[in-house]
Amino acid sequence: MLGCDCEVCRSADPRDKRLRASGLLRAGVENFVVDAGPDFRTQLLREQVKTLSGVLLTHEHADHTAGLDDLRPYCFRQKINMPVYCLPRVAKELRERFAYAFSDYPGVPRLDIREVNFGDTISFGGQDIELLEVTHGTLPIIGIRWGELVYLTDVKVLPPKTIERCQGVTTAIISALHQKGTHSHLGLGEALDYLDVLGAKRGILTHFSHAMGKTAAINARLPAGREMGHDGLRIDIGQDG
């Protein structure tokens, strides 16, 4: 964190170097991104992403959208208007916040905004990405299920239907901002409880701040099958392709 001298921010463990949450789905040579925050460019360079099939935005907050301008080289190189999937209210916000991207000015990132709703699917890698409802404070946002993987960021509450759709997945990724919950985010214990409710064989925590503590220390006291995520973590979920 900027200006902080805590033990996490000073840690030599690369797992304690925490960028903003984002997910990259890969199927063969295809790439699809979930969220594009301020660290988007750094993450794409690290993972050597050469092409993109599309982007899904879970919600409109800056830590999930501020990197959209970095889609520019993909639009030019692939000669496409990049598909960006989001809720209708998020689409409205993007058209205001990134108004220049929808002008005739040369050189802007060309975004193809595709409005979606909970329960919709996006085809990727031969399997549908199912869009699930998550509550972030009072804000309805998007979570996803892609085969045997669920990704649920910025969670405070999982509605019953979402819990039902996530039952028995192999891998569940869920957010936990701090040790204790806030009005809009789960705490560590709450997130672990949800992983048990979902029945996930492997549970991974994401979107946590430096206040959570050092990764090694938290991992040492987590129950079996539960772990802290970290930047660059790769998960093989055995999808076809």
Same domain, 63 and 123: no
- Would you say how long the chain is, in residues? 241
Same domain, 134 and 223: yes
Same domain, 170 and 198: yes
What residues are paired with 203 via a beta bridge?
172, 226
- Residue 36, in any domain of the structure: yes
Domain end among 65, 89, 116:
116
pLDDT tens profile 7-35: 999 999 999 999 999 999 999 999 999 99
Return d(Cα 56, Cα 144) in angstroms, integer: 10
- Residue 54, in any domain of the structure: yes
- Residue 47, in any domain of the structure: yes
Same domain, 100 and 196: no
Same domain, 136 and 194: yes
Q: Residue 139 sits in which domain range?
A: 118-230
Q: Contacts for 179-182 with beta carbons within 8 Å, 24 or more apart?
A: 179/211, 179/212, 179/213, 181/156
Same domain, 209 and 127: yes
Same domain, 155 and 65: no
Same domain, 112 and 178: no
- Residue 186, in any domain of the structure: yes
- Residue 241, in any domain of the structure: no
Same domain, 110 and 122: no
User: Looking at residue 73, what is its pLDDT?
Assistant: 97
Domain end among 66, 91, 116:
116
Domain end among 69, 91, 116:
116
Q: Flag whether pLDDT at 241 surpasses 60.
A: no
pTM of the model: 0.95
Q: What is the mean pLDDT of residues 62-72?
A: 97
- Residue 11, in any domain of the structure: no
Give the E-state strand segments of the chain in sequence order.
23-27, 30-34, 54-56, 82-86, 111-115, 121-124, 127-136, 139-146, 149-152, 171-175, 202-206, 226-228
**Which stretch of 102-111, 163-172, 197-206, 232-241 has the lowest confidence by average pLDDT?**
232-241
CATH of the domain at 186: 3.60.15.10
Contact indicator for 189, 219 with CB cutoff of 8 Å? no
- Residue 238, in any domain of the structure: no
- Residue 150, in any domain of the structure: yes
User: Looking at residue 239, what is its pLDDT?
Assistant: 55
User: Looking at residue 240, what is its pLDDT?
Assistant: 47
Total domains in the fold of the chain? 2
pLDDT tens profile 136-158: 999 999 999 999 999 999 999 99
Same domain, 112 and 174: no
Closest CA to 91 of 71, 108, 122, 68: 68
Q: Flag whether pLDDT at 170 surpasses 80.
A: yes
